[in-house]
Structure 1
Amino acid sequence: MENAPVDHAAASELWEAYRAAHPERATDTEPPSVERFGDHPELTDGLLGLVLAGAKRATATLAAEFAAEGQPLPRVGSHWIACDSTGRPRVILRSTELRLATFDEVDEAFARDEGEDDLSLASWREGHRAFWQRVSRSLGFEWTEQHEIVLERFEVAWRAE
């Protein structure tokens, strides 16, 4: 089963509500990207649930994924909108820390901040290795542990009602 397409119109409405309420924070020069966590409904909704519960405060994305989608890398202070598996925007996130790393450069603290599984680096590596192998195949390349990863910490800036 696949995730539904994201609802860009609803995401724009959510962004405009946030901008009206917090013009001092919503200073992005371009509209935020509209994304989702994971690559299938169960994973997408599970990870989004961790974000909404406050357990997940970080995410890791292959730099090649941004390139494949023609998107620039995020910047500290930039926003993005996370959708659930039905495509409905649920939350606006604001990037608070970014760094590039390879698989073996990810540490325990980052794995814990991702909020997944048992919060250990070992489970982070197991889950992300499997995920990136799937994602890279779908993008037409073979993932290796030397591919650059964008490590991003974020805060919840605004929740959809």
Structure 2
Amino acid sequence: MTLPAPDLGAARHLWDNYRAARPDLVRDEAMPPVEYFGDHPALADELLGLVVSGRKRATATLSLEFTVENEPLPRIGDHWIACDGTGTARLVLRSTALRLGTIADADEDFARAEGEDDGSLESWLASHRRYWQRVAAASGFEFTGTSEIVFEHFEVVWPRPVS
């Protein structure tokens, strides 16, 4: 099942409330990207649940995904809005650390910060290879061991930080 279009009205409402409460953290009035974790509703809900619980504080995205979606690569301090599997905007996130690399550059610390599966590098590598092969094929490109990956750490900044 594919992801529904995000509810941009709900995203705008969430963003406007955050901007009003935290003008010190907002660089730009424009609404940031509205995104999902994962590529189908069940996965989006599962991964967003890990964020809400505080277990997930990192994500990894193929650089080509940004190109396909005509989005710039994130920068430290950038915001984005995360949706659940129905397309409802739930959280405003802020990038706190970024690095570019390949799948060979993933490490135990990053796998633990992603908070998925059992938190090990081994399970992270296996699940992300499968995921990126699927995403790349759906977007018309091929995932290889040299594909560039954006390794991103983030914090939840709205509706309330989750520790």
Asked whether the two chains share a fold, i.e. TM above 0.5, the reply is yes
Cα RMSD over matched residues? 1.1
Provide runs of 4+ in structure 1 moved above 3 Å.
none
TM-score w.r.t. the length of structure 2 is 0.95
Q: How far off is 1:4 after superposition?
A: 1.6
Partner of 2:26: 26
Q: How far off is 1:31 after superposition?
A: 2.2
Partner of 1:156: 156
Cα shift readout 1:54-102 (whole Å, capped 9, x = no counterpart) = 0000000000000000000001001000000100000000000000010
TM-score w.r.t. the length of structure 1 is 0.96
Partner of 2:9: 9
**Structure 1 residues 7 and 68, CA gap change in structure 2 (3 angstroms):** same
Cα shift readout 1:11-51 (whole Å, capped 9, x = no counterpart) = 01110000001101122364210000001111110000000
Paired residue secondary structure (1:65): helix
Partner of 1:45: 45
Distance 1:99 1:28 in 2: 23
2:103 partner letter: F
Aligned residues: 160
Answer yes or no: is the 8 Å Cα contact 1:28–1:78 preserved in 2: no
Distance 1:139 1:74 in 2: 20
Answer yes or no: is the 8 Å Cα contact 1:28–1:79 preserved in 2: no
Q: What is the aligned-residue identity percentage?
A: 57
Q: Which residues of structure 2 form unaligned runs of 5+?
A: none
Distance 1:139 1:45 in 2: 22
2:78 partner letter: S
Partner of 2:76: 76
Distance 2:155 2:141 in 1: 31
Aligned: 1:108 with 2:108:
yes
